[in-house]
Structure formats: structure tokens, C-alpha cells
A and B are shown apart, each in its own frame.
Chain A
């Protein structure tokens, strides 16, 4: 291999690594922002604190991931610039993460599905050949474990609760199930990262995610919806209309007063 080829190869893999980190970071950031919207509106004070704590962890994880992404990008942007000065098509979060909060059941179902996904992803990344990503994942994994415990216990309480809570929980899962196909749909970025030992193979993770989900759904007396083959492409920057509205609020201050600090 000539020097020029090697150079191109490194650039290609750096590009894939950057895109991979942005997807992970954006998913955490968008989900964290959504949870933040609940502050002051939750059904009980304890849940208000709980959702705010989860949001804080997710934004913290996003910060670690986006800081790393910004360094790899090497264009002088930092994590704040990535969070506040990109438009919706440049965000590459999972489509599921940007779905509106809806009622408490909808929020918990969205959380539960992504927590279970992050558990698998971070467990896999903990042994990544990228030591910095491995360190971030090991840290995040500890937090994701109690996020999952929180969301799955709510799923059981809602699903196996009253007739009304069961109905709402089932509606919620029926409503967002169509976005779960994207969680494990590997594209060239995922393939490259898996081949380089940076990230786990998505196809290996899906059965474990599925089993974890099924176990909780059974206990919650909820029905798992049939798979829908339509593929969403949030991680390629193609979003539902909800993300733009969310970003308008999230980015308002920094767009109006660029660089403002507390």
C-alpha cells in the first residue's frame, strides 16, 4: 500500500469514527433535551427529580462524546458549537429519540427502548479498541443501568397497573415501535467501526436487546407489536418534523446571543 493510500484509509476511518460518535452523542443529547422538557411538569415530585437526573446523565454523556467528535473533526468547533449551531439535517440521532414526550407512558416507553439499546451498545463499546471511547462507555454504562431499572420498573407499573395505564402504555409502544428497526440497521459507518473493533456488531446486539425487552413486556402484560419494515433514517440526518421544533427551543439562547455563558 502506498503512502497516499494509507493516508486516504486513515481519513476514511476517521470520517466514519466522527460520524459514529456524532450519532451516539446526538442520540443522548436529543433524548436528554426531551427529558428536560418534563422538569416542572412530571406527575410527581420524585419522577420530576428522576427525569431531571436521567437528563443530566444523558447530556453529560453527550458532552463527552461530542467533545471527542469535535477533536476528531479538527475544525475548531467544540461540543457547544456542535450542539447549538447545527441544523436538524446535521443531527444524526436515532429517530426514536426525537419523538415528542406525549404522556408519561409515551416518555417511559421511548426511554425504556433506548435504555435497553444503550445498555447493549455501551457494554460492547467498553471493550472497544478506541480506549477513549471505551472509557466513556464504561462510565456511561453504570448510569444506563439505573436508567433502565427506572424505565423498566415504570413500564411494569403502567402495563400491569390500571386499565387506563395499561391502555396508555400499550398505545405508547404501538406508536413508537416503527422506529425500533433503525436501532439495529447497520450501514457503512457501523460496518467500518465493527470491522475496526471500535464498535460492537449491531446484528449481534439485536437478539439480546429483544430478549431484554420481551422479558419486561411479559411482566408488564404488554404486547410486542409486529415489526414494521419501513426504515427511518435519523442517523443519516433525515428526521421527523419534531426535531426541528425541539432544536428551535434548545438552540434559541445560543443562536440569539452566540457564545453567551452563565
Chain B
């Protein structure tokens, strides 16, 4: 656990930060966009084709009433080891872009869901060989039945789950029964 990084983050409830957001005037748009552009350059350490923006873990980037830039990140899974690496990389990217006074915050509520993955993120995942998550997370069927997963290589729907757990917490292990290739499926949560 990287204590130094953990110390500077504070746990925030997104519902509270929305209020700060509303207090902001509409002039912040362009400044914020520049920050989002920087964040789009930060890649997930485990899935290097995905930016953290694609992954949906950047919850906000705005100037609050304390005149500081606040960037909110949410972990995908409580114990995801990539969280610390991502936080450090974001800090470096912000420092490099001149936002060294930015406050990095950890947002736990609402919890991350795979529905926050962007369309671009889904496309990049599949091109990388990882089947993107089923869109309807809220479908209660997914609690008990595995969804139909399309093979990212040959596009066949004839696939089977080998294990609910894969190489990282966010992935499950699948096999295509048409082209016989194994592949990862980005789980719905």
C-alpha cells in the first residue's frame, strides 16, 4: 500500500461534490475540457488501450469554491491493485501539465459500474481482444445467469465461461467454441 499517495486523497461522496459543481459558474467549461484532455492520456496499467476516462473512473474534474482543481477518481473494485498506480500516474500527468495544486479525491459513492465504460472504450476493448461487458447491468438475470458473450476474435456467440475469475478482478475467463480461442470478458458489475 502506498501510504504517501493514500494520505493525500480524501474520501468524498459524489452527491456532496455536485453541490460544489453547481456553485461554479458556466465559465469553467474550457478549463475543464483541457483537464479532461490530460486525463484521457492516462492509460489503465492493466489494459493499456483504455484511458481512465474510457473506463469511467474519472468522476469529475472541476474548480471548486476553494479555487483549486478537484479531480475525483473511483476504484473499479475495492481491492484493485491498479488503483494506486492510476492515482500516481494521474498525479504525475497533472503535475506535468501544470496542475500541481490539484486535489485528488477518491469517490466511493455511487460505486463504479461497468455501465460507465464509454462507447469508445467498449470498441477499444473488443479490438484489443477483450469482450466488452453486457450493457444491461441492472438486469437481475445477471446475478444468476451468465450473459451471452460474443467472441472478440471471430464474433461468434458460441462461447462458454471457463471461470468467473480472470487475470484481473474486472475480467472473467471465456472460451470460444467456434474458433476455440480463449479470451477475457470484461465483467458486468
- CB-CB under 8 A from B108, the residues of chain A are 64, 132, 135-136, 138-139
Q: In the complex the two chains form, is A142's CB within 8 Å of B111's CB?
A: yes
Which of A55-63, A176-184, A197-205, A225-233 contacts the other chain? A55-63
With the chains together, A34 CA to B73 CA distance in Å?
A: 30
With the chains together, A64 CA to B169 CA distance in Å?
A: 17
For window 207-250 of A, CB contacts with B under 8 Å fall at none
- CB-CB under 8 A from A68, the residues of chain B are 11
With the chains together, A221 CA to B164 CA distance in Å?
A: 24
- CB-CB under 8 A from B7, the residues of chain A are 78
**What are the 6 closest A-B residue pairs judged by CB atoms, nearest first?**
A60-B79, A60-B78, A135-B109, A46-B163, A56-B79, A135-B108
Contact among A63, A80, A134, A150 with B79 in the assembled complex (CB-CB below 8 Å): A63
Q: In the complex the two chains form, is A58's CB within 8 Å of B6's CB?
A: no
In the complex, the chain A residue whose C-beta lies closest to that of B7 is A78
With the chains together, A149 CA to B2 CA distance in Å?
A: 32
- CB-CB under 8 A from B80, the residues of chain A are 56, 60
A123: min CB distance to chain B, Å: 13
- CB-CB under 8 A from B75, the residues of chain A are 60, 139
With the chains together, A150 CA to B164 CA distance in Å?
A: 8
26 residue pairs bridging A and B, Cβ less than 8 Å apart: A32-B79, A49-B163, A49-B173, A50-B164, A53-B165, A57-B78, A57-B79, A58-B79, A60-B78, A61-B79, A64-B11, A64-B108, A68-B11, A78-B3, A131-B13, A131-B109, A132-B11, A135-B13, A135-B108, A138-B109, A139-B75, A142-B111, A143-B77, A143-B189, A261-B2, A261-B3
- CB-CB under 8 A from B166, the residues of chain A are 49
In the complex, the chain B residue whose C-beta lies closest to that of A65 is B78
With the chains together, A216 CA to B75 CA distance in Å?
A: 32
B109: min CB distance to chain A, Å: 4
Which of B6, B79, B108 has the largest count of A CB atoms less than 10 A from its CB? B79
In the complex, the chain B residue whose C-beta lies closest to that of A55 is B79
In the complex, the chain A residue whose C-beta lies closest to that of B74 is A139
A130-160 interface code vs B (CB 8 A; 1 in, 0 out) = 0110111011101101100110000000000
Q: Does B143 make an interface contact (CB < 8 A)?
A: yes
With the chains together, A46 CA to B143 CA distance in Å?
A: 20
Q: In the complex the two chains form, is B3's CB within 8 Å of A142's CB?
A: no
- CB-CB under 8 A from B110, the residues of chain A are 138
A41-59 interface code vs B (CB 8 A; 1 in, 0 out) = 0000010011011011111
In the complex, the chain B residue whose C-beta lies closest to that of A140 is B78
Q: Does A33 make an interface contact (CB < 8 A)?
A: no
With the chains together, A53 CA to B164 CA distance in Å?
A: 10
- CB-CB under 8 A from B11, the residues of chain A are 64, 67-68, 132, 135
Q: In the complex the two chains form, is B173's CB within 8 Å of A46's CB?
A: yes
Which of A60, A138, A261 has the largest count of B CB atoms less than 10 A from its CB? A60
- CB-CB under 8 A from A50, the residues of chain B are 163-165
In the complex, the chain B residue whose C-beta lies closest to that of A136 is B108
Q: Does B144 make an interface contact (CB < 8 A)?
A: yes
With the chains together, A252 CA to B185 CA distance in Å?
A: 37
Q: In the complex the two chains form, is A60's CB within 8 Å of B1's CB?
A: no
Q: In the complex the two chains form, is B144's CB within 8 Å of A149's CB?
A: yes
Which of B80, B111, B165 has the largest count of A CB atoms less than 10 A from its CB? B165
Q: Does B81 make an interface contact (CB < 8 A)?
A: yes
With the chains together, A68 CA to B106 CA distance in Å?
A: 13
- CB-CB under 8 A from A150, the residues of chain B are 164
